[in-house]
């Protein structure tokens, strides 16, 4: 007898070439390297070049994930791009990625859950594959978040960056006595009552403009730690594990203090927490797959490890996914 499991076969990340340091930022807006590092743990962020769009970043990350997985675009039949910054209002950035990968087959759509988008994407692809709608998926988190920023607003522009990360998910049949592998459980949540705490003041149906990011920073902070820990516990419980079983915690890279706060509330040793926020800043939906691809590439995350992905963002949306690597 065998059991069907959805595994992550490979991951990859891409960061645009241009690096914007805090020191450079402090020449543009009234801030300082010390303030940013102390408050959010960010040292620098990457910024997409003029003419470089979200789908371009997504394609680079997707190619790296497919190489790591040993597959080509011929093998993919589902593309989910989690993004808040699509190239166009429509079509979906995912269909542009499909085109740029030379594909005519399969399906592609965007998923909008802001910073939680990649975790939502993993759970969505997992269900699609389990339900027979697809066999092998590219789940991509990609953002040109710099284009939503008001570069005169020091309370938001210092926090974000651009980038993309991707994962190839596929179905395998595991022998009943084989070691556990793949996505074990996910939990997704949202509560739209909090929308004004973190939002963009534009859109096709309201202003006809793209708008800029607005955030009630202390309110976001207050909600983040509790919501993150709740959904992590819910996911562990579904799979019959506890925090002590985790080898790696790969959280959304919003801000060092939120990550440390959640880690402390979960009683997770800091050495089990993957942190890339200082070099990447908050890349929204791209942050989890970027952090994941760094920790896989440097050999920290290995086959057999128990890995918890987690994210929280605008909406609010939040979620977690537990994976046996
Ligand atoms: N540089 C220097 N000073 C600044 C800056 C800046 N970039 N931004 C704000 N300040 C000033 C404020 O103007 C204020 O000055 P005042 O006292 O003279 O009015 C002072 O710093 C304190 O402002 P607060 O907003 O109270 O600062 P706080 O200590 O709460 O830190 C921060 C702000 C870092 C944004 C914090 O609230 C936070 O981390 N919130 C979570 C936000 C976050 O991570 N969002 C990411 C998106 S959400 C997500 O992905 C989960």
- Written as tens digits, the pLDDT of the chain (325 aa) is 899 999 999 999 999 999 999 999 999 999 999 999 999 999 999 999 999 999 999 999 999 999 999 999 999 999 999 999 999 999 999 999 999 999 999 999 999 999 999 999 999 999 999 999 999 999 999 999 999 999 999 999 999 999 999 999 999 999 989 999 999 999 999 999 999 999 999 999 999 999 999 999 999 999 999 999 999 999 999 999 999 999 999 999 999 999 999 999 999 999 999 999 999 999 999 999 999 999 999 999 999 999 999 999 999 999 999 999 9
- Token pair of 220, please? 């976001």
CA of 52 to the centre of ligand 1 (A): 29
pLDDT in tens, 229-281: 999 999 999 999 999 999 999 999 999 999 999 999 999 999 999 999 999 99
CA of 287 to the centre of ligand 1 (A): 20
Report which protein residue has its CA nearest ligand 1's atom 14.
155
* Contact predicate 157/149, CB 8 Å: yes
CA–CA gap between residue 88 and residue 82 (Å, rounded): 14
Q: Catalytic amino acids? A: 115, 252, 282
What is the model's pTM? 0.97
CA of 217 to the centre of ligand 1 (A): 6
CATH number corresponding to 182-324: 3.40.47.10
In CATH, 2-175 is 1.10.3470.10? no
Ligand 1 site residues, Cβ closer than 6 angstroms = 31, 35-36, 39-40, 115, 154-155, 158-159, 198, 215, 217-218, 220-221, 224, 252, 254-255, 257-258, 282, 312-313
CA–CA gap between residue 143 and residue 141 (Å, rounded): 7
Cα of 212 vs its chain's centroid, Å: 20
182-324 and 2-175 share a CATH fold? yes
Domain boundaries, the chain: 2-175, 182-324
Report which protein residue has its CA nearest ligand 1's atom 40.
217
CA of 218 to the centre of ligand 1 (A): 7
Residue 243, classified by CB atoms within 10 Å of its CB into exposed (0-12), middle (13-18) or buried (19+), is: middle
Could you identify the residue written with the tokens 């929280």? 312
CA angle 232/237/239 to nearest 5° reads: 100
CA–CA gap between residue 168 and residue 189 (Å, rounded): 24
CA–CA gap between residue 114 and residue 85 (Å, rounded): 9
pLDDT in tens, 309-322: 999 999 999 999 99
Report which protein residue has its CA nearest ligand 1's atom 42.
217
Give the number of the atom of ligand 1 that is nearest the alpha carbon of residue 314: 48
CA of 144 to the centre of ligand 1 (A): 22
The pairing of beta strand 182-190 with beta strand 317-324: antiparallel
The helix/strand/coil state of 22 is: helix
Give the number of the atom of ligand 1 that is nearest the alpha carbon of residue 159: 46
The pairing of beta strand 2-14 with beta strand 182-190: unpaired
């Amino acid at each position: 007898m065998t059991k069907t499991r959805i595994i992550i076969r490979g991951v990859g990340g891409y960061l645009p070439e241009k690096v914007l340091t805090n020191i450079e930022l402090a020449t543009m807006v009234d801030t300082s390297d010390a303030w940013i590092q102390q408050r959010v743990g960010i040292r620098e962020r990457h910024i997409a070049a003029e003419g470089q769009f979200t789908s371009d970043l997504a394609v680079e990350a997707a190619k790296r994930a497919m190489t790591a997985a040993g597959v080509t675009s011929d093998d993919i039949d589902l593309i989910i791009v989690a993004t808040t910054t699509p190239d166009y209002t429509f079509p979906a950035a995912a269909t542009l990625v499909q085109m740029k990968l030379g594909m005519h087959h399969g399906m592609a759509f965007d998923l909008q859950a802001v910073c939680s988008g990649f975790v939502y994407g993993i759970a969505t692809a997992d269900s699609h594959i389990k339900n027979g709608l697809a066999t092998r998926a590219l789940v991509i988190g990609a953002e040109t978040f710099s284009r939503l920023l008001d570069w005169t607003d020091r309370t938001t522009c210092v926090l974000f960056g651009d980038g993309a990360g991707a994962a190839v998910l596929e179905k395998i049949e595991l022998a009943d006595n084989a070691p556990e592998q793949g996505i074990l459980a996910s939990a997704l949540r949202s509560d739209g009552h909090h929308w004004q705490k973190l939002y963009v003041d534009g859109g096709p149906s309201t202003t006809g403009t793209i708008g800029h990011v607005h955030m009630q920073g202390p309110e976001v902070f207050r909600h983040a730690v509790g919501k993150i820990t709740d959904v992590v516990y819910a996911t562990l419980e579904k799979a019959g594990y506890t925090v002590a079983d985790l080898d790696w915690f790969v959280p959304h890279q919003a801000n060092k203090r939120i990550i440390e706060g959640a880690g402390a509330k979960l009683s997770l040793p800091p050495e089990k927490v993957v942190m890339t926020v200082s070099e990447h800043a908050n890349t929204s939906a791209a942050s989890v797959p970027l952090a994941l691809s760094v920790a896989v590439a440097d050999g920290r995350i290995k086959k057999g490890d128990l890995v918890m992905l987690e994210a929280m963002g605008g909406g609010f949306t939040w979620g977690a996914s537990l994976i046996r690597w």
